[in-house]
Amino acid sequence: GYNTTSCANSPAGCDEGNLDIQYIMGIAQSTISIYWYVGGNNPFLSWIRAVASESNPPMTNSISWGSKEQSVDSGTLSQFQTEAIKVGLMGVTITVSSGDNGVTSFSSSTNTCECNNPSGSNILTWSVSSSWTGTGYFPSFPATCPYVTAVGATMGPNNGDPEIACQSQLGGVITTGGGFSTYYPTPSWQTDAVNDFFTLSPSAKSGYNKNGRGFPDISLIGVQYAVVVDGQMNYYYGTSCSAPVFAAFITLIN
């Protein structure tokens, strides 16, 4: 683990890690759980390289963090995918939360939505096979990588209602993340699902890569999760809730 006194001073600063470990351990009680802390400027790549180098790696891993894909360099995107393929061949599963801002991103520095920011292919630092224009689409990496399982959030059954995508305007607090990668192409096993999506939703606002890897891969309930930090119980919403729970399910299967 990572030694810090910030949890006692500000429990909210430790909610993410506690949420993950409390639900993974609560569901997959018969298994060993590991909290993996990675620092540095490139934590996702550092982490997956460390996992790949293990002779006996954890067979199921959950990530509840993400970065705006367009802000990640192409070298990191390529290397992460290579490492994800390697650990996949080792039988390792990686689940990643798909984000909590719908198709867009939220700037932590300015505390504003990037809904109206340009998201066309011209802002990319790598070349693409086809171009597009528009605004507001900022997919979350590493959920965009084809060799992880991206997990979205749903709502409804918690109130006895039909299950639907989690949406802030309907009381879900967050809007489940999803969309299409700007870097990774649509994998062959996803072609039919993507084609069906465009048949059902032909008039989506422009600004995304129609030839990109679609995500999330799966969704489950992502609202009203009780988490205790430093003796205080709080309730959380989002794909950061659904991703570790799905990882716990896979842990029991593995």
Distance, CA of 251 to CA of 254 (rounded, Å): 5
Report whether pLDDT(11) > 80: no
Tell me: pLDDT of 202 over 90: no
pLDDT of res. 13: 65
Return the minimum-mean-pLDDT range out of 6-15, 16-25, 68-77. 6-15
pLDDT tier for residue 214 given thresholds of 50, 70 and 90: very high
Q: Residue 242 has what pLDDT? A: 97
d(CA 14, CA 24): 16
- Of residues 108 and 127, more confidence is placed in 127
* 130-168 confidence digits (pLDDT tens): 899 999 999 999 999 999 999 999 999 999 999 999 999
**What are 117-125's contacts with CB under 8 Å, separation 24+?**
119/70, 119/182, 119/207, 119/208, 120/207, 121/182, 121/209, 123/70, 124/70, 124/182, 124/183, 125/73, 125/74
Is the confidence at residue 2, as pLDDT, over 50?
no
Q: Is 238 helix (H, G, I), strand (E, B) or coil?
A: coil
What pLDDT band is residue 110 in, cutting at 50, 70 and 90?
low
Confidence of residue 181 (pLDDT cuts 50, 70, 90): very high
pLDDT score, position 120: 96
Confidence at residue 17, expressed as pLDDT on a 0 to 100 scale:
86
Mean pLDDT of the chain: 91
Percent of the chain at pLDDT exceeding 90 = 78
Q: What is the pLDDT of residue 8?
A: 57
User: What is the pLDDT at residue 5?
Assistant: 52
The pLDDT of residue 9 is above 80: no
Task: Provide mean pLDDT across the span 121-134.
Answer: 94
